[in-house]
Chain A
Amino acid sequence: MSEKIGRDELAQLVAKDIKPGSFVNLGIGQPTLVSNYLTPEQGITLHTENGMLGMGPVAQGDEIDEDLINAGKIPVTELPGASYFHHADSFAIMRGGHLDVCVLGAFQVSATGDLANWHTGAPDAIPAVGGAMDLATGAKDVYVMMSLFTKDGQSKLVPECTYPVTGVNCVTRIYTNEAVFLITKDGVRVRETFGTTIEELQAKMEVKLLPAE
Chain B
Amino acid sequence: MLNIAQTAQEAVAGVHDGATVLIGGFGNAGQPMELIDALLECGATDLTVVNNNAGQADAGLALLIKERRVKKIICSFPRQSDSWHFDTAYRAGEIELELVPQGNLAERIRAAGAGIGGFFTPTGYGTMLAEGKETREIDGRGYVYETPIHADFALIKALKSDKTGNLVYRKTARNFGPIMAAAAKKSIVQVSEIVETGQLDPEVVVTPGIYVDTVVKIAAPATAAAEQKVSK
Instruction: Give me the interface of A with B, judged by CB distance under 8 Å.
Output: 48-52, 62, 65-69, 73, 78, 84-88, 90-92, 94-95, 114, 119, 126-134, 137-138, 164-168
A131 proximity list for chain B (CB < 8 A)? 76, 101-103
Of the listed stretches B124-132, B195-203, B208-216, name the one at the interface; the rest are far from the partner chain: B124-132
A85 proximity list for chain B (CB < 8 A)? 174
| Distance, CA A62 to CA B126, complexed state (A) | 45
Given the known interface contacts A126-B87, A128-B99, the answer about A167 and B127 at a Cβ–Cβ threshold of 8 Å is yes
CB-based contact B27/A129 at 8 Å: no
- Closest chain-B Cβ to A131's Cβ sits at a distance in Å of 4
B162-203 to A contact mask, C-beta < 8 Å, 1/0: 000000011111111111000000000000000000000000
CB-based contact B109/A84 at 8 Å: no
Interface residues of B in 45-97 (CB under 8 A from A): 52, 76-80, 87, 90-91, 97
A94 proximity list for chain B (CB < 8 A)? 103
A114 proximity list for chain B (CB < 8 A)? 126
Interface residue count for B (Cβ, 8 Å)? 52
- Closest chain-B Cβ to A135's Cβ sits at a distance in Å of 9
- Closest chain-B Cβ to A71's Cβ sits at a distance in Å of 8
B126 proximity list for chain A (CB < 8 A)? 114, 165, 167-168
Q: Which of A78, A95, A165 has the most CB of B within 10 A?
A: A95
CB-based contact B103/A95 at 8 Å: yes
Task: List 11 interface pairs A-B (beta carbons < 8 Å), by A numbering.
Answer: A66-B222, A68-B172, A78-B171, A87-B26, A87-B179, A88-B106, A91-B107, A126-B78, A127-B97, A128-B76, A134-B123
B17-35 to A contact mask, C-beta < 8 Å, 1/0: 0000000001111100000
- Closest chain-B Cβ to A27's Cβ sits at a distance in Å of 13
Query: Secondary structure at chain B's binding surface: helix, strand, loop or mixed?
Result: mixed
B90 proximity list for chain A (CB < 8 A)? 126
Given the known interface contacts A66-B222, A167-B126, the answer about A132 and B101 at a Cβ–Cβ threshold of 8 Å is yes
- Closest chain-A Cβ to B222's Cβ sits at a distance in Å of 6
| Distance, CA A68 to CA B226, complexed state (A) | 10
Given the known interface contacts A86-B174, A126-B90, A164-B128, the answer about A137 and B123 at a Cβ–Cβ threshold of 8 Å is yes
A133 proximity list for chain B (CB < 8 A)? 101, 103-104, 123-124, 127, 129
Given the known interface contacts A94-B103, A130-B102, A168-B125, the answer about A88 and B229 at a Cβ–Cβ threshold of 8 Å is no
| Distance, CA A69 to CA B25, complexed state (A) | 12
| Distance, CA A49 to CA B26, complexed state (A) | 10
CB-based contact B142/A168 at 8 Å: yes
Q: Which of A51, A66, A87 has the most CB of B within 10 A?
A: A87
